[in-house]
Amino acid sequence: MSVSTLRSASPMEHARAGLTYDRTVPRQLVHRASVTEVFLTDAAAVAGDRFLVGAQWPRHHALYHPDQSGRCDFMLLAETVRQAGIYLLHRFYDVPLGHHFVFRSLDLHIDDHAALRVGGTPLGAVLDVCVTPAGSPGSGRFDARIDITIEVDGQPCAHSTVAVVVVDARRYEVLRNRGRDLTSGITATTTAAATPSRAPVIAGRQDANVLLRTAADDDSSTWLLHVDLQHPGYFEHPSDHVPGMMLLEAFRQAGHLTAASNCVLTALEARFRSFGELFQPIVIRSATGSDGLLRLTAVQGERTLAEADALFVRD
C-alpha cells in the first residue's frame, strides 16, 4: 500500500496494513513461558474498543497439528483466541502483569473449514476483536466480554466469544479457595495413576496427548482425565489447577469417541464453573442431545468443573 493510499485509508484499513508477522508478541503478555507457544505477532487499535490482532499458525506443532483432511487444528484457534484476550487486556487496558485471568466461557464456531487448509507455509490470520469492558483495569477486579472474527486471506472463517474475569492476587486467592477440598489429594493421585488403560489414538492424538483413560466401570460415555504435570504443552509453566485448555481438549477427544467416525469438530460452546484440583480424579462425560449436539461435562467429586455443547459434522 502506497503512502498516499495509507493517508486516505480508513482506520480499519490502516490498522490492517500495519500488522506485522515477523516476530511474536512478548510471551509474558499471553501468559506463556515458551516463545514456541506464542501465536500472536502484532496488534493495533482501530477505534474505541475495537482492535486487529495478527497471528501466525505453524504447519505442525507438538500439541496442535492438522486434522485428517489437512486443516488447521480447532484447538489451535481456541488457544489463539485465549491469547488474544489476554494480550489486548494487558497492552491496551493496562491490566498489570501478575493479575489472574479467570475464563468463564469460550465459544468457537468454524464457518469455513476450507479456508483453514494448511499449505506449504505457516498460515497467517487476522483477528477482528471487539472488547466490552466492565470495571476498572487498575482495580482488584475487571470483567470483559471479547467478540472475535477470525479471518484468513481477508475472508472470515470463524467467530468466537470469550468472557473473562481479571482479578488481583488477593481476590484470586479468595476465588481459588472457595469450596476447595485439599484433604484427598494423595489418595486421589494414587487412584488415578493406578488406572492403566487408555483410549486409543483419538483424532490423531497419541501417547502423552491422549488425555482420556477408560473409566473403571468401562462405561463407553465416561472417561477419567489423565493429568500429567510434566506435559510440555498443558503445563509448559506451573499451574495450581487443571488448565482450561486441557479440559477443552478432553471434551474434543470425548466427542470424537462418541460421534460417528470421520467427523470433525465445528463448534464448541464451553462454560467453566470451578477450578479443577490437580491431584483429584476428574471424570469426563459425553451424551448426545435431541438436537444432535454433544453435551460434555467435566466433574470432580460433586463439583462440575466445566460443561460444553459441541457440534461434530461428517468430514
- Residue 292 pLDDT: 84
Give the pairing type, strands 283-288 and 222-225: antiparallel
CA dist 270 and 23 (Å) reads 31
Q: What residue has cell string 504435570?
A: 229
Packing angle of the helix pair 244-258, 74-93 (nearest 10 deg): 160
Q: Read off the DSSP letter of residue 30.
A: G
Q: Which of 78, 144, 105 is nearest to 272 (CA)?
A: 105
Three-state secondary-structure class, residue 209: helix
DSSP 78-141: HHHHHHHHHHHHHHHH-PPTTPEEEEEEEEEEES-GGGGB--SSPEEEEEEEEEEEEE-TTSSE
Average confidence (pLDDT) per 10 residues, the chain, 315 residues? 58 91 97 96 96 95 88 96 98 94 98 94 96 87 96 96 96 87 46 46 68 78 94 93 97 90 92 97 93 94 97 90
Determine the pLDDT at residue 65.
Answer: 85
Helix (H, G, I), strand (E, B), or coil: what is residue 235?
A: coil
User: Strand, helix or coil at 286?
Assistant: strand
- Give CA–CA dist 26/218, Å, rounded: 45
Other C-beta atoms within 10 Å of 60: how many? 10
